[in-house]
């Protein structure tokens, strides 16, 4: 009995073990940070090469198409670089540590932090925010219990904070340079005839957000046969805004107006994408 007591007393308690593990984890994280800073100092970014990589990335049509978001506010339109463009900027600028961390979960909500840290200059941006484990529906708030749903909710809310952190660290002139290069890529893009790309855009709005051709025409104020490259770019910005959660369908499109301004092409659109393409060809 005495031997067992001595052996038990000689072992650390569960609380002590937890403290040791936490201390070891903190020490390991500190060493990783020191290593990252050391490498950043040993291999500083080449500004010329960083800008060149960013410009090359912005020449990709797929990135340029998702590089901007826009949403209405107070009767005006607010636009800016999307999270996709911000991520590409961070990847190619180099020596940045950025991401989203969930700090804790409690009482049906998560406390998370988005951050971006320039390891060379020690400039850091971070935003701590709270995310409720619920999602808005037509019937009110719906609680989220599945860990995957909670993770996606935190990631979605964190993306906008992460974008702000990245854009707060990377110089503004570099961001403007990337935006202009994306605009040049869009204006000179030859991915196919304009009417085909408009048809594809209408199809995506219809399938993902139930936005019809009539609603798009009501928003722009004219028939899609009169659309130009600029209109298609603006339509893409609206789609990115909806996809990133920066705005809602109701902010852009009104069903009642669409019914009052129903065009001759509406019937063709309802029959299928082919009908729209044929009508556009005839209008030309």
- 3-class secondary structure for 244-273? CCCCCHHHHCCHHHHHHCCCCCHHHHHHCH
Q: Which residues of 191-208 are buried (b: 16+ CB within 10 A; e: fewer)?
A: eeeebebbbebbeebbee
In the chain, how long is the greatest CA-to-CA distance? 98
Instruction: Give the CB-side neighbour count of residue 22, counting CA atoms within 13 A.
Output: 6
pLDDT confidence of residue 245: 84
Q: List the structure tokens of 250.
A: 């109701």
User: If phi over 0 gives left and psi between -120 and 50 gives alpha, with beta otherwise, what is residue 182?
Assistant: alpha
Residues of the chain with pLDDT under 50: 7-8, 190, 258, 261-269, 272-277, 279-284
Least Cα distance to 90 among 119, 62, 59, 127 occurs for 119
| Cβ atoms of 159 and 244 closer than 8 Å | yes
**Gap between the Cα atoms of 101 and 117, Å rounded:** 14
Closest to 162 measured CA to CA, from 126, 122, 130, 111: 126
pLDDT of residue 190: 45
Phi, psi at residue 101, to the nearest 5°?
-120, 135
d(CA 39, CA 16): 35
Residues 5-63 have pLDDT tens digits of: 554 455 555 555 556 666 776 677 778 778 878 888 888 899 999 998 998 889 888 88
Cα–Cα distance, 113 to 130 (Å, whole number): 9
* Residue indicated by tokens 């040993």: 42
pTM over 0.85: no
Helices and strands in the chain: count of H runs, count of E runs: 14, 7
């Amino acid at each position: 009995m005495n031997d067992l007591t001595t052996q038990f007393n000689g072992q650390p308690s569960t609380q002590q073990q937890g403290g040791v593990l936490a201390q070891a984890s903190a020490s390991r994280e500190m060493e990783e940070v020191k290593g990252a800073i050391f490498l950043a100092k040993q291999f500083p970014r080449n500004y010329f090469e960083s800008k060149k990589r960013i410009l090359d990335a912005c020449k990709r049509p797929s990135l340029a198409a998702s590089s901007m978001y826009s949403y209405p506010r107070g009767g005006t339109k607010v636009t800016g670089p999307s999270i996709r463009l911000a991520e590409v900027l961070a990847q190619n600028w180099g020596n940045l540590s950025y991401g989203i961390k969930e700090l804790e979960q409690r009482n049906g909500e998560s406390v998370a932090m988005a951050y971006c840290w320039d390891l060379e200059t020690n400039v850091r941006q971070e935003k701590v925010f709270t995310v409720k484990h619920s999602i808005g529906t037509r019937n009110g708030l719906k609680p989220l219990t599945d860990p995957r749903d909670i993770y996606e909710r935190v990631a979605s809310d964190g993306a906008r904070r992460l974008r702000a952190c990245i854009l707060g660290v990377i110089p503004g002139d570099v961001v403007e340079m990337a935006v202009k290069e994306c605009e040049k890529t869009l204006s000179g893009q030859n991915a196919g005839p304009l009417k085909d790309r408009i048809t594809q855009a209408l199809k995506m709005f219809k399938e993902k957000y139930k936005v019809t051709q009539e609603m798009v025409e009501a928003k722009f104020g004219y028939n899609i046969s009169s659309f130009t490259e600029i209109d298609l770019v603006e339509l893409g910005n609206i789609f990115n805004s909806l996809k990133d959660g920066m705005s809602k369908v109701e902010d852009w499109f009104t069903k009642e107006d669409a019914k009052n301004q129903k065009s001759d092409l509406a019937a063709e659109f309802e029959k299928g994408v082919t009908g729209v393409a044929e009508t556009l060809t005839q209008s030309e």
